[in-house]
């Protein structure tokens, strides 16, 4: 486990942690730094003792280094949508839990925990668990929404404002092209800001893939000197992302089982991990009265979140963390 209070680390210790984050083994680090493998392990041990980290220390040291700006996120990768089991495994690893700790945390066997770890490394194309944690930071998958240290909590009034903004924008315009919005907290309250997206990104019906691709595009943009993303307008603090799109779903009318009706949906995720889903059938003709929309909100920790947790929402969460400010620390 990690003591959340930052403590000073020696330059050599930071170098060793950084090289572990790049996927190097102890012998490779020793060769790179011109020291012995035993000295490398000594630096790891000293750093973990300084920070009060126990258990599987290397992934936790990498997590600490990124979280406190000792390693700058400057090589962003295209994010991937991890299934809940692997996302939970990643979070456990970043907290310094080994196979037995992961098993106890997730209520599975140690053998299953090892299987999850192997699948996690494969999904992230990582060499080690420490390397997986580093890749997750570069993809914008770390830290998870409920662990953003610099995020102000989303208040109940802001949740209501987000819901109202989603419902207001739900029927704005009849263009079927999906819309991506940033949810911003500004001096005048919460607002939605439309993000301009090239049409080529929407030439697929797999919305999760579209958002993941967009996150990859956004990840390639050079950040501002303060670590903020250029796609986020100022003034305003980014607190969420929202995606509006139209879908065709089978009509429930038994007399016409093959007919399909047009639905418009708005899905969103906020910085605290809250999930929103708004939607309703579209009016049939211009001038028709739009049916009453429905909106569902599930906060972090609500067991009913799985009811609306879809691949597209996971992709929106990855995009949100691609756009959030990154620590501005010194690179080695």
Regarding whether 221 and 87 lie in a shared domain, the answer is: no
Regarding whether 11 and 104 lie in a shared domain, the answer is: yes
Lowest mean pLDDT across 109-113, 203-207, 312-316, 323-327: 203-207
- Domain assignment of residue 298, yes or no: yes
Regarding whether 318 and 261 lie in a shared domain, the answer is: yes
**Domains in the chain: how many in total?**
2
Choose between 1 and 16: higher pLDDT: 16
Domain boundary among 143, 170, 190: 143
> pTM for the whole thing?
0.52
Domain boundary among 143, 178, 200: 143
- Domain assignment of residue 329, yes or no: no
CATH code at position 80: 1.10.10.10
Range of 36-50, 72-86, 171-185 with top mean pLDDT: 36-50
Regarding whether 167 and 117 lie in a shared domain, the answer is: no
Regarding whether 3 and 104 lie in a shared domain, the answer is: yes
- Domain assignment of residue 328, yes or no: no
Report pLDDT digits (tens) over 270-300.
877 778 888 776 555 455 555 667 788 877 6
> Does the pLDDT at position 251 exceed 60?
no
- Domain assignment of residue 39, yes or no: yes
Q: Based on the number of CB atoms within 10 Å of its own CB, is 203 exposed (0-12), middle (13-18) or buried (19 or more)?
A: exposed
| Six token digits for residue 226 | 């303060």
Quote the domain boundaries for residue 210.
Answer: 156-323
Regarding whether 136 and 2 lie in a shared domain, the answer is: yes
Return the pLDDT at 283: 53
Domain boundary among 93, 115, 143: 143
Mean per-residue pLDDT over the chain, rounded: 76
Regarding whether 308 and 189 lie in a shared domain, the answer is: yes
Which 3-state string (H, E, C) describes 34-63? Answer: CCCHHHHHHHHHHHHHHHCCCCCHHHHHHH
Give one DSSP letter per residue of 196-214, joined into a string.
P--GGGGSSS-HHHHHHHH
- Domain assignment of residue 184, yes or no: yes
> Does the pLDDT at position 330 exceed 50?
no
Report pLDDT digits (tens) over 39-67.
999 999 999 988 888 889 999 999 888 87
| Six token digits for residue 28 | 């490779």
């Amino acid at each position: 486990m990690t003591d959340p209070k930052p403590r000073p680390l020696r330059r050599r210790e930071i170098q060793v942690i950084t090289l572990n984050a790049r996927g190097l083994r102890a012998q490779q680090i020793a060769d790179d730094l011109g020291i012995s493998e035993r000295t490398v392990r000594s630096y790891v041990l000293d750093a973990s003792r300084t920070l009060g980290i126990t258990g599987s220390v290397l992934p936790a040291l990498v997590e600490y280094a990124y979280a406190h700006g000792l390693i700058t996120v400057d090589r962003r990768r295209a994010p991937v949508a991890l299934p809940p089991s692997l996302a939970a495994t990643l979070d456990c690893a970043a907290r310094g839990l080994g196979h037995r700790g992961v098993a106890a945390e997730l209520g599975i066997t140690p053998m299953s925990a090892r299987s999850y770890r192997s699948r996690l490394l494969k999904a992230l194309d990582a060499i080690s668990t420490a390397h997986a944690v580093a890749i997750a930071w570069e993809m914008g998958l770390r830290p998870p929404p409920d662990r953003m240290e610099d995020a102000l909590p989303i208040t109940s009034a802001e949740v209501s404002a987000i819901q109202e903004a989603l419902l207001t924008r739900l029927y704005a315009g009849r263009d079927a092209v999906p819309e991506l919005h940033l949810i911003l907290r500004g001096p005048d309250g919460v607002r939605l800001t439309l993000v301009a997206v090239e049409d080529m990104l929407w030439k697929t019906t797999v919305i999760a893939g579209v958002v993941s691709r967009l996150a990859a595009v956004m990840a390639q943009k050079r950040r501002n000197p303060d670590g903020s993303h250029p796609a986020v307008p100022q003034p305003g603090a980014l607190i969420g992302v929202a995606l509006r799109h139209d879908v065709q779903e089978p009509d429930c009318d038994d007399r016409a089982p093959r007919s399909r009706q047009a639905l418009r949906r708005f899905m969103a995720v906020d910085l605290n991990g809250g999930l929103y889903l708004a939607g309703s059938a579209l009016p049939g003709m211009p001038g028709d009265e739009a049916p009453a929309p429905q909106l569902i909100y599930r906060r972090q920790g609500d067991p009913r979140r799985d009811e609306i947790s879809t691949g597209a929402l996971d992709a929106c969460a990855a995009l949100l963390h691609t756009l959030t400010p990154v620590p501005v620390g010194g690179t080695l």
